Structure 1
Amino acid sequence: MSIGKRFNRVLQLLLPNDPNRASHGERWLSAIGGFLGIAGLLWISSGVLDLEGATMVIGSMGATAVLLFAVPHGALSQPWAVVGGHLLSALIGVSCARLIGPPELAAATAVAVATGVMYYLHCIHPPGGATAMVAVLGGDAIRELGYGFVLYPVMANLLILMLIAVVLNWPFRHRRYPAVLARPRHREPASEARPELTHDDFTYALAEVDSFIDVSEQDLLRIYRLARQHHSREPLTGERPAANDEDAQQRRRS
């Protein structure tokens, strides 16, 4: 294989296969939401922390803002994930800072414990790991707050950020936040050729994957129905071989 072909192959592996197809309106709306959210957070945090401490707290909240305004329907963006992930991580971070002497060990322990707790309590939110670390390494201003850091500025920041997400996304039915408010305008017709997948089917499939997937069960069902609807509208290009038809009938009978 020539060097040029190898280079192209490496590029194909590194670059995304399916580019982001969101409209320009969606992208600008996400950017405006991020601006409003971070501006509000800076206004709150600077009132209780110095600029350095406020900047460190905003760092984790900035990642949350991207999720809320760019991926409002993602599993990582939903209220329990956001609130539980940040508050529990902040609580764990403050505890580790008080109980463990070396700050490096305390920060590593805080992130590790926060990750495990978020997993078991079903509130995985990656920026929460940054909040746990900030509680340990955020400087004197944050350490002096003690457990008050959990409520202010962390809780106050979350309330402001989520309120902006609800208000900004509300006029747009397809991206209302939280996802439970984004009701479809009509129910997709179910195909009569095959039975619909059930809740138990998706629960089993997700358990078999054995990994956290950033998509809700409702979105999986909707994607499945839309794909089936699109498939049923496609014209047949030709008849399938008889052997395939027999195999399909056997699979349906089983």
Structure 2
Amino acid sequence: MQHSRRRWLFDLLGINLTVVSVTEKLISALGGAIGIAAVVLISQALLPNATGTPLLIASMGASAVLLFAVPHGPLSQPWPFIAGHLLSAVIGVSCAQWLGTQWWSAAIAVGLSIGVMHLLRCIHPPGGATALTAVIGGDAIHALGYQFVLLPVGLNVLVLLIIAFAFNGLFRWRRYPAALIPRPPVPVVNTHSHYQPPIIEHAHLVAALSQIDSYIDISEQDLLRIYELATQQVALSHRIAPPIIAVGHYYSNGRFGSDWEVRQVLRIQIDDMTQTQYVSFRRVTGHRRRSDGRLELIDFQRWAAHEVIRDENSWRPVDDECVETNNQ
């Protein structure tokens, strides 16, 4: 009971419990430090006379977190990183010059940047800070005008991108961009029409994530949901025809966890006015167990993955050896 309450509190607060080794954490910290140091040193070397010109913008610190702590995350990849910063810089400078540097101009710059990044599939959260800097960064930033997009933003982005590629490339499991990671062979999937993938639990996810040994920018709940939806698509793609619905028989939707359900067909009736067939049923397992319902026959067939029969404490598909392990 205490463990479940603690899990609930962690989920509520958004505390990520991904298992990552100390070595991986130290590598991430070292990479971020090297990346920012390189940006400053290279900027100083290339712009020795840039007195009063900022050589580093603060949003690069946030980008360093993504590129070195979450190098495989979708928000860390080159297109979001490059376009997110440069487009936001253009929007920020434009707002500063056309709308002024008031608080509402800063708000518009950030909002527009988010919208454009969404539209162009280049969401990179530090880009919002880049747009904000262009508006409220002070006289030194405002004096640069659109040059701010290239120096310092463009130069910062280029240097940090090169360092992320080189540093993460030193480690086989940390290749950057993520497309450079060697892909494991695709497992052979049982394509039997009644095949039901095994249920994944929290312990299985913990074990799998510990083998990846990298921070994953997705919640455990989302991982489970993605797995469930993907396996449903596999089941649908291999299903030859909907099951025949018969009175007194039991049918399952083949889903997992709280969405799993078994229904018993009570009656099949035809509406005299519309000539539509309806199925009256009772839920015998699942979240709404022992409640009754009614659907059109065609909708019930779409819901039903297969017919099932009782097998001791489990339900198994008819004429199939795969057992649904959910208990009543």
Task: Report if TM-score (shorter chain) is over 0.5.
Answer: yes
Give the drift of 1:120. 0.3
> What CA RMSD, in Å, does the superposition of the two structures yield over aligned residues?
3.3
Q: Summarize the Cα distance change of 1:167–1:106 in structure 2 as closer, same or farther, 3 Å threshold.
A: same
Per the alignment, residue 317 of structure 2 pairs with: 246
Q: Summarize the Cα distance change of 1:72–1:190 in structure 2 as closer, same or farther, 3 Å threshold.
A: same
Give 1:3-82 correspondences, 5 Å limit: 11-14=9-12, 19-44=17-42, 47=47, 48=50, 50=52, 53-54=54-55, 57=57, 59-82=58-81
State whether residues 44 and 157 of structure 1, in contact with CA within 8 Å, keep that contact through their aligned partners in structure 2.
no
SS at structure 2 position matched to 1:108: helix
Q: Summarize the Cα distance change of 1:8–1:68 in structure 2 as closer, same or farther, 3 Å threshold.
A: closer
Per the alignment, residue 207 of structure 2 pairs with: none
Per the alignment, residue 111 of structure 2 pairs with: 112
Give the drift of 1:178. 0.2
Distance in 2 of aligned mates of 1:188 and 1:29: 30
How many corresponding residue pairs?
205
SS at structure 2 position matched to 1:245: strand
Per the alignment, residue 147 of structure 1 pairs with: 146
Greater strand percent: which structure? 2
Q: Summarize the Cα distance change of 1:37–1:193 in structure 2 as closer, same or farther, 3 Å threshold.
A: same
Q: Summarize the Cα distance change of 1:156–1:19 in structure 2 as closer, same or farther, 3 Å threshold.
A: same
Q: Summarize the Cα distance change of 1:29–1:140 in structure 2 as closer, same or farther, 3 Å threshold.
A: same
Give 1:138-177 correspondences, 5 Å limit: 138-177=137-176
Q: Which has the higher contact order (CA 8 A, sep 6+)?
A: 1
Distance in 2 of aligned mates of 1:41 and 1:168: 14
Give the TM-score taking structure 2 as reference length.
Answer: 0.55
Distance in 2 of aligned mates of 1:92 and 1:244: 58
Q: Summarize the Cα distance change of 1:96–1:49 in structure 2 as closer, same or farther, 3 Å threshold.
A: farther
Give the drift of 1:191. 2.2
Q: Summarize the Cα distance change of 1:248–1:44 in structure 2 as closer, same or farther, 3 Å threshold.
A: farther
Q: Summarize the Cα distance change of 1:66–1:12 in structure 2 as closer, same or farther, 3 Å threshold.
A: closer
Give the drift of 1:176. 0.2
SS at structure 2 position matched to 1:36: helix
SS at structure 2 position matched to 1:244: strand
One-letter amino acid of the counterpart of residue 88, structure 2:
S
Q: Summarize the Cα distance change of 1:175–1:248 in structure 2 as closer, same or farther, 3 Å threshold.
A: farther
Identity of aligned residues (%): 49
SS at structure 2 position matched to 1:72: coil
One-letter amino acid of the counterpart of residue 40, structure 1:
A
Say which is worse superposed, 164-173 or 81-90, in terms of deviation.
164-173
SS at structure 2 position matched to 1:187: coil
Consecutive unaligned residues of structure 2, counting only runs of 5 or more, are 196-216, 232-308, 321-328
State whether residues 44 and 153 of structure 1, in contact with CA within 8 Å, keep that contact through their aligned partners in structure 2.
no
Question: Residue 128 in 1 paired to residue 199 in 2?
Answer: no
Offset from partner CA, 1:176-200 (integer Å, 9 cap, x none): 000111122x31422225689xxxx
Consecutive unaligned residues of structure 1, counting only runs of 5 or more, are 197-213, 229-239, 250-254
State whether residues 101 and 136 of structure 2, in contact with CA within 8 Å, keep that contact through their aligned partners in structure 1.
no
Offset from partner CA, 1:92-139 (integer Å, 9 cap, x none): 000000000352121111001000000000000000000000001111
State whether residues 101 and 135 of structure 2, in contact with CA within 8 Å, keep that contact through their aligned partners in structure 1.
no
State whether residues 49 and 142 of structure 1, in contact with CA within 8 Å, keep that contact through their aligned partners in structure 2.
no
SS at structure 2 position matched to 1:34: helix
Q: Which has the larger radius of gyration?
A: 2
SS at structure 1 position matched to 2:190: coil
State whether residues 168 and 176 of structure 2, in contact with CA within 8 Å, keep that contact through their aligned partners in structure 1.
yes
One-letter amino acid of the counterpart of residue 163, structure 2:
I
State whether residues 113 and 131 of structure 2, in contact with CA within 8 Å, keep that contact through their aligned partners in structure 1.
yes
Q: Summarize the Cα distance change of 1:9–1:54 in structure 2 as closer, same or farther, 3 Å threshold.
A: same
SS at structure 2 position matched to 1:82: helix
Distance in 1 of aligned mates of 2:79 and 2:116: 13
